Chain A
């Protein structure tokens, strides 16, 4: 009689464990959904265009450095460029040191404030790279054969 009882106890503990894990998972999912807005590292230019990004408050915007938009102001470290998610773009002004990976067409995250005139003044600029890794020769060959895919703007899911 002892064995079935032990087995029943094990099954019961298993059931309690499964229920607890389901409950915990649901709680975690609900919490994360509720805080969804605060868990994003940066806003996209589309967020800015649709007024989902706060004005005059410290925040980050992310996207790609628009091709042909980079201007360096002569005699200073000031740079101007546009951050785009290929739907909308935000002009950015930044004065300071840029990371090595920073270049046109590259992913970027800028931390700063959006003024009411739509210009984003950045106090920090971080480079972001995509998930593709390849030797330079392969990248060259892809570009030559026209099979090069444009970098996806970060945060352009859904």
Chain B
């Protein structure tokens, strides 16, 4: 299969126009269903009571923080190795979305930590590594914007994205490798989920909804970035034509 044909902006436009309505409709459906189930239908937890409902916002946000980062690192590799122009644009477009998911994860985690653990924040390995992920997102955005030449910015930040990818396994396994305040994984573990199905299904609906929301945001932001670049190129061409006269 020739992946290069997806990399051309005009093909991307056509493909994204086909995907967009499905992703947007699916996101609305899943998030609507998931939120209703999470807030009104699912049972309270035997230990945590009603506070457990924060999980349906917090856990998918944490998954997305890492999933978007994996995409960012992949876009970085494609930028550096294959010099795909669309990968450049994609990295730039999805970084703020990933940062927003990471922030949502940290904020809801803090709100959940106070009633359950008795603290807003502790410097344990899981919390700290996610905070580092947030800072790496911010650094990526800053570095990407630090150059006049968009391609130079994209390459510099692509290196940063790949370096930061080391953090992903650290986040995932921090709760297994070290003693942490944060409990180990409940869903993505080898011997099956440790969550009752009545709570697991709303959680999975939310996770699918978050993922589709990410697809929608990524498509819109990539489109906007492509239009912006096209506009920039046109202005540039007009200016140099003016000089030539």
Chain B: interface secondary structure?
A: loop
Does A17 sit at the interface, judged by CB under 8 A? yes
Contact between B162 and A21 (Cβ–Cβ < 8 Å)? yes
Provide the bound-state CA to CA distance between A62 and B178, in Å: 12
Known A36-B178, A41-B125; contact A129-B48, beta-carbon cutoff 8 A: yes
Interface residues of A in 119-134 (CB under 8 A from B): 124-134
Q: List the B residue with the shortest CB-CB distance to A32.
A: B170
Q: List the A residue with the shortest CB-CB distance to B128.
A: A39
Does B36 sit at the interface, judged by CB under 8 A? no
Provide the bound-state CA to CA distance between A32 and B183, in Å: 20
Does B17 sit at the interface, judged by CB under 8 A? no
**Interfacial chain A residues near B194, Cβ < 8 Å:** 131-133
Does A138 sit at the interface, judged by CB under 8 A? yes
Does A84 sit at the interface, judged by CB under 8 A? no
Pick from A62, A101, A138: contact of B179, CB below 8 A: A62
Does A146 sit at the interface, judged by CB under 8 A? no
B198 to chain A, nearest CB (A): 6
Pick from A17, A36, A130, A157: contact of B183, CB below 8 A: A130
Contact between A39 and B125 (Cβ–Cβ < 8 Å)? yes
Contact between A126 and B179 (Cβ–Cβ < 8 Å)? no
Provide the bound-state CA to CA distance between A15 and B138, in Å: 28
**Interfacial chain B residues near A155, Cβ < 8 Å:** 179
Does A154 sit at the interface, judged by CB under 8 A? yes
Provide the bound-state CA to CA distance between A154 and B48, in Å: 18
Contact between A127 and B118 (Cβ–Cβ < 8 Å)? yes
Does B96 sit at the interface, judged by CB under 8 A? no
Chain B 112-125, CB-CB to A under 8 Å as 1, else 0, gives 00011111001111
**Interfacial chain A residues near B117, Cβ < 8 Å:** 99, 101, 126-129
Q: List the B residue with the shortest CB-CB distance to A137.
A: B43
**Interfacial chain A residues near B119, Cβ < 8 Å:** 124, 126
Known A41-B125, A135-B44; contact A128-B115, beta-carbon cutoff 8 A: no
Interface residues of A in 1-59 (CB under 8 A from B): 10, 13-14, 17, 20-21, 24-25, 28, 32, 36, 39-44
**Interfacial chain B residues near A13, Cβ < 8 Å:** 80-81
Does A87 sit at the interface, judged by CB under 8 A? no
Pick from A44, A100, A131: contact of B184, CB below 8 A: A131
Contact between A136 and B44 (Cβ–Cβ < 8 Å)? yes
Provide the bound-state CA to CA distance between A128 and B80, in Å: 43
Chain B 75-100, CB-CB to A under 8 Å as 1, else 0, gives 00100111000000000000000000
Contact between B163 and A133 (Cβ–Cβ < 8 Å)? no
A84 to chain B, nearest CB (A): 15
Known A99-B116, A129-B116; contact A41-B124, beta-carbon cutoff 8 A: yes
Provide the bound-state CA to CA distance between A96 and B77, in Å: 52
Interface residues of B in 188-203 (CB under 8 A from A): 189, 194-196, 198-199
Known A28-B166, A62-B179, A136-B46; contact A17-B125, beta-carbon cutoff 8 A: no
Interface residues of B in 130-189 (CB under 8 A from A): 162-163, 165-166, 170, 176-181, 183-186, 189
Contact between A133 and B125 (Cβ–Cβ < 8 Å)? no
**Interfacial chain B residues near A98, Cβ < 8 Å:** 118
Known: A41-B181, A101-B118, A124-B118. 6 other contacts (CB 8 A): A14-B81, A28-B170, A41-B125, A133-B45, A135-B196, A138-B196
Q: List 6 A-B contacts (CB under 8 A).
A: A36-B178, A43-B179, A101-B117, A106-B47, A130-B183, A133-B199
Q: Which 3 A-B pairs have the closest CB atoms?
A: A99-B118, A135-B43, A139-B46
